[in-house]
Chains A and B, each alone.
Chain A
């Protein structure tokens, strides 16, 4: 049970083959084994949402997954979202709306927003608040995060319309 297990996992489009302890959390695997420290651990009991990543396209708490459960899975983290020079529309909206202060909860908020807007592209403010309610932020009071999600939703819709037209 405690012997290392070899897993194959794709993170941000890169395939890895790694030997991991069965008890290793996905959050620790991402941070320590792959050096992807953008995923933060705020509570290690699945309540704060700071460690949220996409597992096979669905948002998930990386502190509640074991790495061995994800053999063959696709994982996306904040590092896969966009870069400083080519930000994802959600990142751009967070920047423009001042939707972050200390930045610790931000990666989880961004990833949650990806999932939220994929499933509910027409979400109104109340639905956005509900959709974000699994992620704790102690700095912003959420108001600017809601504004950013709204702005990102509008931008993503506009892009879709533009793509459909071309």
Chain B
């Protein structure tokens, strides 16, 4: 309906403030009397804090206070929590050590805060921090998974013997053993999924303000989910009860998962604002982001696939070690378990799957959800296996996949997920056609004649999004329900405000959500305002992650709209002296079908608020809310094909073509969807070619700046060719599946499959830097 409804690539409402420098990010906010915090962080990966001498610092200009870890413990601020309970094979709950917001006794990763200086200016706080003397007693550290699980390894937490958080399993081990027993062929791979640093361009920041008379806190923070932040700060960290804590997440400069979590810095800022009775601001620097934002991925995996003589998959066996860093971050426990192993069936019919995952503590920054969260790791395992299998079985990689695709829906996998709908052949066909797969051998031969190694690689990914049915995740150990809420307010003059618990930090909700209203009422999107990111304005919400905002949050808006429309139709019918069943909504008007009688939306709204002439018994006003809890996950899926050329002289990989064929269900704003795919693909390519957090043996992060950690730049990535195939999601009223993570989930396997195809063997790990590729070609490790 209308030019701005569903399916229209309208330009974004939110753009203008960003392109004129009028965005309002946390660091742009100044409060009266505001002080500045600077954290004193451990330079050691593992050490005892023997003492902190702040006497010299306290005498320095502008210093208001120096606060320590012992003080925050003494004030009974709660330890950081992990909100998803996972049980080991033997039924025991995961084993976690305590994580205080600032370390009173022991530091366990480089960058962990031990104290904070509060001063009048940022530079005064930094100056004074130099004068704080911390006496550390260094302890031996473990910088990676292998070191952490080695016999006699230094131990991080007494609660977790052997540095093991859990030893978890899923699937049917016996059935898998049987499958391998009767296999005609078995393909085995060992894989490392490199550790990544999310690096949203806006560093994290927080401003806390305490009103002594009201005993009320306000927190401005860079959050993807301000209500979850308030809930956790209130219920677990003892900062303030919920009604005395307002959390505002204004414009947020990207998140990619890293801004889901409630970090020590927000807790300290709140606590300190009461201690010094003044607003406290902290803005992270980039190296602080590298050291303290939750990292992503970091798996070491062995995977085996069993095939029968016709190349049908019989079974899959996966063993993964996941690095959690030094503490269990908010949702970390779920990432390598329920967000990972439940997707190991990929797009394929696999009769038997068994996966075991060992979660490990190391003296590194905590690891948690990063764009895709578990699903990129699963997709990498299964798609690297499929490509390797095709090579080993000497069959075409597209045809091996096609032979094993799930084609009947719904499809119950052996690892919990029940795929509701999809058409995997359609996306494969679209991608094959787009890249001219038939012409590849000729292109490869031509490249060879020019001294270049050309390769092509596939990735047929699937993900579980729309996170998530509350009952389902509750049964798997989640500490929260993952519904979403919305409120629709039609104002007396007929303009509309939508209050959503989702949070937009680049995704374009202010446009996409307005289009949903435009579609239903036929009003322009300029008449619709999307309100989000403030716990005082929005009723409640679980926030934005897991490609859930439209599938869950958008559905909540539809549910609330249905209630508004039902009431508005009653008012219109009353005013028009017609039956409400005869009322239709077109172009912002309520019409009596088959007549020329109509009443415009503003008149209906005005009638609702003047209440002079409403149907008997009707309450005044035109405002409704809804909570929407999905019945299933959604399952976006697609095929990515990447064609690359490697220069054997330099090891440099260049993109020839990158095709992405995605099925996201119904598209509301195709332009925004494509932007999400571009960004996701680029992060996936970043993982494949450039990015990798490197720790040395002593637990020092070697890659702690943009000089040392390479992220994709404009000349590193190609222009992508996008295709859309569509099966409508049956699980929500919009038929949508979510598009935010797909690119990051599917891209890296396609790239590595292409490079290993080009160089003719599989001994290559991510990131496939020119150095690594050159050595892979020339056989020198």
By beta carbon, the residue of chain B nearest A132 is B714
Instruction: Give the interface SS of chain B, mostly helix, strand, loop or mixed.
Output: loop
Q: Are B705 and A87 in contact, CB atoms less than 8 angstroms apart?
A: no
A133-165: CB near B (< 8 Å → 1, else 0) gives: 111111111111110000000000000000000
Nearest opposing residue in chain B for A48, CB measure = B706
Contact of B11 (CB < 8 Å), options: A42, A95, A130, A132:
A95
Select which of A36, A45, A133 is within 8 A of B714 by beta carbon. A133
Given contacts A23-B123, A129-B715, contact A47 B20 (CB under 8 A): no
Contacts of B23 in A (CB 8 A): 38, 103-104
Annotate B283-324 by CB proximity to A: 1 below 8 A, 0 otherwise: 001100000000000000000000000000000000000000
The answer to whether B508 touches A101 (Cβ under 8 A) is yes
Q: Is the CB of A104 within 8 A of B706?
A: no
B505, B675, B715, B719: the one within 8 Å of A140 (CB)? B675
Q: Mark B227-266, 1 if CB is under 8 A from A, else 0.
A: 0000000000000000000000001111010000000000
The CA of A132 and the CA of B717, in the complex, are separated in Å by: 12
A87 and B20: CB pair below 8 A? yes
**Contact status A94-B254, CB under 8 Å:** no
Size class of the A contact interface (CB-based, 8 Å)? 35 or more
Report chain A residues within 8 Å CB of B677.
Answer: 141
Distance (whole angstroms) from the CB of A64 to the closest CB of chain B: 13
Interface string of A116-134 (1 = CB under 8 A from B): 0000000001101110111
Question: With the chains together, A146 CA to B256 CA distance in Å?
Answer: 23
> Which residue on A lies nearest to B21, using beta carbons?
A38
Contact mask for chain B residues 668-689; partner A; CB cutoff 8 A; 1 contact, 0 none: 0001101111111111000000
Is A110 in the interface zone, CB < 8 Å from B?
yes
Q: Which residues of A contact B256 (CB under 8 A)?
A: 138
* B17 interfacial by beta-carbon distance below 8 Å: yes
Within 8 Å of chain A (Cβ to Cβ): is B203? yes
Q: With A102-B252, A105-B201, A138-B200 in contact, is A94–B19 under 8 Å at CB? A: yes
Among A32, A78, A100, A135, point to the contact of B21 (Cβ < 8 A): A78
Which residues from 1 to 49 on chain B have a C-beta closer than 8 Å to any C-beta of chain A? 11-12, 14-25, 27-28, 30
Shortest Cβ distance from A116 into chain B, in angstroms?
A: 11
Q: A84-B20, A100-B19 are in contact. Are A137 and B717 (CB under 8 A)?
A: no
User: B266 to nearest A CB, angstroms?
Assistant: 19
Nearest-neighbour CB distance to chain A for B131, whole angstroms, equals 16
Say yes or no for A17: interface residue by CB 8 A criterion. no
CB-based contact B18/A100 at 8 Å: yes
CB contact under 8 A between A138 and B254, given known A79-B20, A87-B19, A143-B678: yes
> B295 to chain A: closest CB distance in Å?
15
CA gap between A79 and B612 in the complex, in Å: 48
* Complex Cα gap A37–B203 (Å): 15
User: Shortest beta-carbon distance, A81 to chain B, in Å?
Assistant: 7
B interface footprint on A85-97 (CB within 8 Å = 1, 0 otherwise): 0010001001110
Chain A residue with Cβ nearest B504: A102
Within the complex, the shortest CB–CB distance from A91 to chain B, in Å, comes to 5
A2 to B571 CA separation, bound complex (whole angstroms): 71
Contact A98 B675 (CB under 8 A): yes
Q: Judge whether A82 and B675 touch: CB under 8 Å.
A: no
B19 contacts A43, CB within 8 Å? no
A85 to B16, CA, bound (A): 9
Cβ of A166 under 8 Å from chain B: no
Cα-based distance from A94 to B12 in the complex (angstroms) = 11
Chain B CB within 8 A of A52 CB: no
A41-59 contacts to B, CB under 8 A, are 41-45, 47-48, 50
Picked from A91, A104, A140, the residue with its CB within 8 Å of the CB of B202 is A104
Which of B27, B28, B253, B720 lies in contact with A143, CB distance below 8 A? B720
Taking CB atoms, residues of chain B closer than 8 Å to A87 are 16, 19-20
A62 at the B interface (CB under 8 A): no
A residues near B18, Cβ cutoff 8 Å: 100, 102-103, 106
B507 located at the interface, meaning its Cβ lies under 8 Å from any Cβ of chain A in the complex: yes
Considering only residues 503-534 of chain B, those with a C-beta below 8 Å from chain A are 505-508
Q: Are A43 and B719 in contact (CB under 8 A)?
A: no
Once the chains are docked, how many angstroms separate the CA of A100 from the CA of B28?
A: 19
Q: Tell me whether A133 and B506 are in contact in the complex, defined as CB-CB below 8 angstroms, given that A47-B707, A143-B720 are known contacts.
A: no
Q: Shortest CB–CB separation between residue A115 and chain B, in angstroms?
A: 15
A135 to B16, alpha carbons, bound, how many Å? Answer: 20
Beyond A37-B25, A102-B251, A140-B675, list 16 extra A-B contacts (CB 8 Å): A21-B123, A28-B122, A40-B253, A45-B706, A78-B20, A87-B16, A95-B15, A96-B11, A103-B253, A104-B254, A106-B18, A110-B19, A133-B714, A138-B199, A138-B254, A140-B678
Minimum-distance CB pairs A-B, first 5 = A38-B21, A103-B18, A104-B253, A141-B678, A102-B506
Using CB atoms and an 8 Å cutoff, list the residues of chain A in contact with chain B: 21, 23, 28, 31-32, 36-45, 47-48, 50, 77-79, 81-84, 87, 91, 94-96, 98, 100-107, 110, 125-126, 128-130, 132-146
B residues near A (Cβ < 8 Å) are 11-12, 14-25, 27-28, 30, 122-123, 199-203, 251-254, 256, 285-286, 505-508, 671-672, 674-683, 705-707, 711-717, 719-720, 743
Return 26 A-B CB contacts under 8 Å, by A number. A37-B24, A37-B27, A38-B20, A38-B21, A40-B253, A42-B201, A44-B286, A47-B707, A48-B201, A79-B20, A79-B21, A81-B21, A83-B20, A98-B11, A100-B15, A102-B202, A103-B23, A103-B253, A104-B253, A104-B254, A107-B19, A132-B714, A132-B715, A140-B679, A144-B675, A145-B714
